[in-house]
Structure 1
Amino acid sequence: MNPSPAAAVPAGGGEGVVDRGLETELLEAALASGANVVLEGPPGTGKSTLLREVAQHRSTTFVLVEGNAELTPARIVGQFDPAQVLTVGYDPEVFVDGPLLTAMREGGLFYVEELNRVPEETLNTLLAVMSEREIRVPRLGVVSAAPGFSVVAAMNPYDAVGTARVSGAIYDRTCRIVMGYQTAEAEEAITASRAPVPSPDWTRRAVSMIRASRDHPDLRVGASVRGAIDLAGILHQLTARRGVKAEDWYAGRDAARVALSGRVRVEESSPRTAEEVVEELYVTAFGPEPSDDDADRDEQDPSDGGAPPQPGGPGEA
Structure 2
Amino acid sequence: MSTVLRQHAEQQFSQELEELKKQDPHKIPQNWQLSPQAVVSYLMGDKLNNGFQLTPKYIGNRRLMEIAVATLTTDRALLLYGLPGTAKSWVSEHLAAAISGDSTLLVQGTAGTGEEAIRYGWNYARLLSTGPTPEALVETPMMRAMKAGKIARVEELTRIGSDVQDSLITILSEKSLPVPELNTEVQAVTGFNVIATANNRDKGVNELSSALKRRFNTVILPVPDSMEEEVEIVQQRVKSFSQHMALPIEKPITEEIRRIVTIFRELRSGVSMDGKNKLKSPSGTLSTAEAISVMNSGLSLSHHFGDGSLTAHDLASGVLGAVVKDPVQDKIVWQEYLETVVKQREGWKDLYRSCRDMM
TM bin, normalised by shorter chain, reads: 0.7 to 0.9
Identity of aligned residues (%): 24
Residue of structure 2 equivalent to 1:184: 227
- 1:145-169 Cα shifts (integer Å, max 9, x gaps): 11111122111113358x2221111
Whether contact under 8 Å (1:114, 1:154) holds in the other structure is: yes
Q: CA deviation at 1:88?
A: 2.7
Q: CA deviation at 1:129?
A: 0.8
Q: CA deviation at 1:27?
A: 0.9
User: Equivalents in 2 of 1:237, 1:80: separation in Å?
Assistant: 44
Residue of structure 1 equivalent to 2:312: 249
User: Equivalents in 1 of 2:174, 2:289: separation in Å?
Assistant: 38
Residue of structure 2 equivalent to 1:276: 335
User: Equivalents in 1 of 2:134, 2:261: separation in Å?
Assistant: 54
Residue of structure 2 equivalent to 1:4: none
2:142 is the alignment partner of 1:100: yes
Counterpart of 1:194 (choices 237, 255, 266) is 237
2:255 is the alignment partner of 1:212: no
SS of aligned partner of 1:96: strand
Q: CA deviation at 1:224?
A: 0.9
Whether contact under 8 Å (1:253, 1:279) holds in the other structure is: no
Matches within 5 A, 1:69-80: 69-80=111-122
User: Equivalents in 1 of 2:253, 2:233: separation in Å?
Assistant: 14
Residue of structure 2 equivalent to 1:109: 151
Whether contact under 8 Å (1:260, 1:278) holds in the other structure is: no
2:126 is the alignment partner of 1:84: yes
SS of aligned partner of 1:71: coil
Deviates more, 1:277-286 or 1:68-77: 277-286
User: Equivalents in 2 of 1:10, 1:85: separation in Å?
Assistant: 36
Whether contact under 8 Å (1:38, 1:152) holds in the other structure is: yes
SS of aligned partner of 1:158: helix
2:349 is the alignment partner of 1:288: yes
2:78 is the alignment partner of 1:52: no
Residue of structure 2 equivalent to 1:315: none
- Calculate the TM-score normalised by the size of structure 1: 0.77
User: Equivalents in 2 of 1:272, 1:257: separation in Å?
Assistant: 9
Residue of structure 2 equivalent to 1:232: 295
- 1:183-234 Cα shifts (integer Å, max 9, x gaps): 3222212211222564222222221122222123232443111222122122
User: Equivalents in 1 of 2:318, 2:338: separation in Å?
Assistant: 10
Residue of structure 1 equivalent to 2:64: 23
User: Equivalents in 2 of 1:175, 1:185: separation in Å?
Assistant: 29
User: Equivalents in 1 of 2:296, 2:337: separation in Å?
Assistant: 17
Give the count of matched residue pairs: 279
Residue of structure 1 equivalent to 2:73: 32
CA gap of 1:86–1:238, structure 2 versus 1, over 3 A, is closer
SS of aligned partner of 1:176: strand
Q: CA deviation at 1:34?
A: 2.2
User: Equivalents in 2 of 1:291, 1:18: separation in Å?
Assistant: 31
Residue of structure 2 equivalent to 1:142: 185
Q: Aligned AA for 1:234?
A: S
Larger radius of gyration: 1
User: Equivalents in 1 of 2:174, 2:344: separation in Å?
Assistant: 55
Residue of structure 1 equivalent to 2:195: 152
User: Equivalents in 1 of 2:78, 2:71: separation in Å?
Assistant: 7
Gapped regions of structure 1 (runs ≥ 5): 1-8, 293-317
User: Equivalents in 2 of 1:229, 1:291: separation in Å?
Assistant: 20
Whether contact under 8 Å (1:188, 1:207) holds in the other structure is: yes
User: Equivalents in 1 of 2:336, 2:324: separation in Å?
Assistant: 8
Whether contact under 8 Å (2:156, 2:198) holds in the other structure is: yes
Whether contact under 8 Å (2:118, 2:167) holds in the other structure is: no
Q: Aligned AA for 1:251?
A: D
CA gap of 1:241–1:75, structure 2 versus 1, over 3 A, is closer
